[in-house]
Structures are given as structure tokens and as C-alpha cells.
């Protein structure tokens, strides 16, 4: 779970909490780094999925999902 900027930190924390309550393992990366840097770092760590939230996702109540291998799975609802 990562955010694009500090403006989405609260939403990212809420989504992470919701996913944990659903029984999923979630690690949050809410640092102030650039999003491309964070995606590359997590890709090198071979994370199976990277959940990204930005202004569009926050406004729509969605999350953007990226799978290992830099596959963009699009936007989805964070509710299981």
C-alpha cells in the first residue's frame, strides 16, 4: 500500500486497516518519496501486489492495483 502524496495518507491508512480486518497482510509505505521510486523499490522486493492511492482513487473510493511484473490491473474497490 502506497500513496502518491501526503494528501492521501489518511485514505491509505483507512484502506490498509480495512484490508487487515478482512484478513489480508498489508504493509504501508507512506513516505514522502516519489511514486516511481516507491513502485520500483517494491518491485525489486518482489511484492506480489502494490496498492496505490492518489487523488482520483481517494475521490472515487477506489485503489489502483499493480501486480508483480509491472502489470497494471486497474482500479478496484478496496472492500473485499
Residue 8 corresponds to which cell in the numbers above?
A: 492521501
Mean pLDDT (10-residue bins), the chain, 80 residues: 92 95 93 90 91 94 91 89
- Structural domain of 50: 2-76
User: What does the radius of gyration of the chain's CA atoms come to, in whole angstroms?
Assistant: 11
Q: What angle do CA 26, 17, 12 make, to 5 degrees?
A: 80
Number of domains in the chain: 1
Question: pLDDT tens across 56-76, in order?
Answer: 999 999 999 999 888 999 999
- Give the model's pLDDT for residue 80: 66
- Give the model's pLDDT for residue 67: 93
Beta strands 63-67 and 2-3 are unpaired
Backbone angles phi and psi of 45, in degrees to 5: -80, 0
Q: What is the CATH number of the domain that holds 35?
A: 3.40.50.800
Residue 4 corresponds to which cell in the numbers above?
A: 502518491
Q: What is the pTM of this model?
A: 0.85
Amino acid at each position: 500500500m502506497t500513496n502518491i502524496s501526503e494528501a492521501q495518507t489518511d485514505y491509505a491508512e483507512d484502506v490498509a486497516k480495512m484490508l487487515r480486518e478482512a484478513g489480508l497482510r498489508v504493509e504501508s509505505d507512506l513516505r514522502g518519496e516519489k511514486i516511481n521510486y516507491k513502485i520500483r523499490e517494491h518491485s525489486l522486493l518482489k511484492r506480489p501486489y502494490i496498492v496505490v492511492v492518489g487523488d482520483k482513487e481517494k475521490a472515487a473510493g477506489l485503489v489502483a492495483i499493480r501486480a508483480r511484473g509491472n502489470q497494471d490491473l486497474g482500479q478496484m474497490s478496496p472492500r473485499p
